[in-house]
Structure 1
Amino acid sequence: MNILIITQRVDINDDNLGFFHEWLEKFAKNSDKVFVVCLWKGDYKLPSNVEIFSMGKESGASKIIQFFRLQAYLFRRVKRCDGIFIHMSPIYAIGSFPMAKLFRKKMLMWYVHKSKNFKLWLAEKLVNKIYTASQESFLIKSRKVEVVGHGIDTDKFFPKKIDGSGKFKILFAGRISPIKDLKTLISAMGILSKEIGSGSFNLEIVGDAVDGEEQEYFNALMKIIKERKLSDCVSFSGGLRHDEMPSKYNNSDVLVNLSPTGGMDKAVLEAMSCGILVLAANETFKSILAQANYNSMFRFGDAEDFSRKIVGLMSISQEERDRIGVGLRSVMVKNHSLDNLIKRISEYFK
């Protein structure tokens, strides 16, 4: 089978989209040839049956040049593939439709986000199938939508406890963005500091501010930390490569996620695959956690409820944490593994 994939970025070192490199590795194992079109090409280490073509954003190509490069490449390669897979970019589904129609190729789009806009609405009309991770991660009603679970590389994200001593380690992983509700997280750390002392825990925030708005948000968070004298228990590590995250999860006691209900943040699932406790506000995770007989949710935006739940997790014995971790990983391997997802995508085009 030959497959053509369109994605935003191919860069193993990218702290946001570096995970897609793992997807391409898996596609290479399940395909004879993989043609990849990306907006931005960085560093990659892929098998010889993977061909990477960039629309040229990394070299400053304008949007009109990017468009014509995309069409030229599709004209040369679509006829040689069995289908087109679009990753998270409705605009590429729209741009690929004429060539897909011309050469009578099916288009499958992967989309996991709670946003709705005209581009997504139009892309839904043009593609043949849409795969998403949960009912909450694609909000346009459509018969084309199929919930298939997420794609976590459970071979890379597996339990390997590094340091089980010292302070209780709280980890947040994600963009420094208002939607992540990090102000509630910082407020909860202030509550914990007063109630149990800042010497008994530490919070590490892994992630970058990627634009001006997020940089302003980061500056506001730093001001709050300084005002509440939390610098000794709250730290920022910046963005990390995706291949650095397994050890980061495994060196933590709990991964926290404060986003509202919507699409599933991948960090929560990666932590679960590592057998690490998680605490989330997003109701989408409730049914997933229930499959492992684990209930660790808090009310969105409620710093006091969050801090109470953290205290409760701190009281759990290591033996109980290990038992919970086995259950969490089992759910990931069964229902959200990258191997299963790639096989399902490949089978669609056969």
Structure 2
Amino acid sequence: MNKKVKLLIVTQKVDENDDVLGFMHGWIKEFARQCEKVTVICLYKGQYNLPENVKVLSLGKEDGVSRLKYFVRFYNYIWRERKNYDNVFVHMNQVYVILGWKIWRLLGKKIGLWYAHGYVPFSLRLAEKPLHKIFTSTVSGFRLNSKKLHIVGQGIDTEIFAPINVKIENDRLRIISIGRISPVKNYETLIKAVEVLIKRGMKLEVNIIGGVGLPEQEQYLDVLKKMTKSKELESVIHFKGAVPNKDIITVLQKSDLFVNTSLTGSLDKAMLEAMSIGLPTLTCNEAMLEVLGDYKRKLMYNKKDFEALAEKIVYIIGLNAKEKEKMSTDLRDIVVKDHSLPRFVKMILDNY
């Protein structure tokens, strides 16, 4: 822990009630615990409850200000606050690096970027050049060759995402999948797998948690709902909409199995949150090859292979109590060891 560090964090949103970026609230708290001072510049400011050594400055999206004003505020903040930070940590949006690097370099600030996604836009290639440090979760999370790269895992609050001793009795296997409603999440594979199992007479309850934000995502949700109806699965598969990240723990604790069908190729926080509470987690995401260790063969299937996913679900159902307990303990141990939030923040700060 280095209490002398003064850090600037640049991120899209500070809002503990957000379903996608709500976790950032917890990250900022942990950075504040390990730093002397944290200044946060965000595009959108919602509800938050952060320590006294944190200052949050918004570019004003919540007030509907113009894009021009975003730029004016951004440059004003990074210059005005220059004595309140030594290092810069940009979260997922490399455009802020492109906008700010000249001033930050002029001021002698070290610039770091967190990027964990399989997509490599041209802007990322541009941003890589002036950066001092790049942080990602796994090898597959940053697909450019760079000597600046540091693999630090993910940041999961394992004290919050913890198992509970009492499970609610249910005669159905309760499956949960979490992620925005987008074609890249490939929910069709889950729907088809469930259809296979229902035809075999299995009792299932499937909850898909995730919101929509773009017109194409609304269209995709309509496609999924029509698909569910055509397969007569409306009483089995439920689209629950967005749930704030801070409330996801309750939903996970009421589930028996987490299924991820995403095609992004990057390490999904939701999977690690599920593992942290001890949920068996099935996935086709290649990033998990670096995470699951001896459980790779047991818990992974090929992308879009709904029959293989169905068989993996059958395998989970067939585990006895002792086997389930061991799997739950082992999966949580992976997260605690390699992806706990305090470890994550310390590794980032130590690598500046």
- TM-score w.r.t. length of structure 2: 0.95
| Aligned match of 2:220 | 217
2:72 to 68, 71, 81: 68
| Aligned match of 1:263 | 266
Distance 2:84 2:251 in 1: 41
2:302 to 296, 299, 305: 299
2:193 to 188, 191, 198: 188
Contact between 1:292 and 1:327, CA under 8 Å: does it hold in 2?
A: no
Question: What CA deviation, in whole Å up to 9, does each residue of 1:192-249 have, x standing for no partner?
Answer: 111124xx11111011111100100000111111111101111111111111111211
Distance 1:293 1:172 in 2: 19
Q: 1:40 corresponds to which letter in structure 2?
A: Y
| Aligned match of 1:140 | 144
What does 1:1-350 align with in structure 2 at a 5 Å threshold? Answer: 1-160=5-164, 161-197=166-202, 200-260=203-263, 262-291=265-294, 295-349=298-352
Q: 2:336 corresponds to which letter in structure 1?
A: V
Deviation, structure 1 residue 313: 0.8
Question: What CA deviation, in whole Å up to 9, does each residue of 1:149-192 have, x standing for no partner?
Answer: 11111111111143243211110001111001111111111111
Contact between 1:292 and 1:331, CA under 8 Å: does it hold in 2?
A: no
Deviation, structure 1 residue 319: 2.2
Contact between 1:294 and 1:324, CA under 8 Å: does it hold in 2?
A: no
Deviation, structure 1 residue 122: 0.9
Contact between 1:39 and 1:56, CA under 8 Å: does it hold in 2?
A: yes
Q: 1:184 corresponds to which letter in structure 2?
A: T
* Counterpart secondary structure, 1:38: strand
Structure 1 outlier segments of 4+, above 6 Å:
none
Contact between 2:134 and 2:148, CA under 8 Å: does it hold in 1?
A: yes
Aligned length: 347
Deviation, structure 1 residue 322: 1.2
* Counterpart secondary structure, 1:97: helix
Distance 1:291 1:64, change over 3 A: farther
Deviation, structure 1 residue 294: 6.9
Distance 2:305 2:26 in 1: 36
Deviation, structure 1 residue 261: 5.9
Distance 1:181 1:241 in 2: 22
Distance 1:261 1:15 in 2: 19
Question: What CA deviation, in whole Å up to 9, does each residue of 1:109-151 have, x standing for no partner?
Answer: 1100111112111111111010100111111111111111111
Distance 1:288 1:33 in 2: 33
* Counterpart secondary structure, 1:126: coil
Contact between 2:90 and 2:96, CA under 8 Å: does it hold in 1?
A: yes
Contact between 2:136 and 2:142, CA under 8 Å: does it hold in 1?
A: yes
Deviation, structure 1 residue 293: 7.6
Q: What runs of 5+ residues in structure 1 fail to find an aligned partner? A: none
Deviation, structure 1 residue 253: 1.0
* Counterpart secondary structure, 2:200: helix
Distance 2:196 2:312 in 1: 12
* Counterpart secondary structure, 2:289: helix
Q: What runs of 5+ residues in structure 2 fail to find an aligned partner? A: none
Contact between 1:90 and 1:120, CA under 8 Å: does it hold in 2?
A: yes
Distance 1:273 1:241 in 2: 18
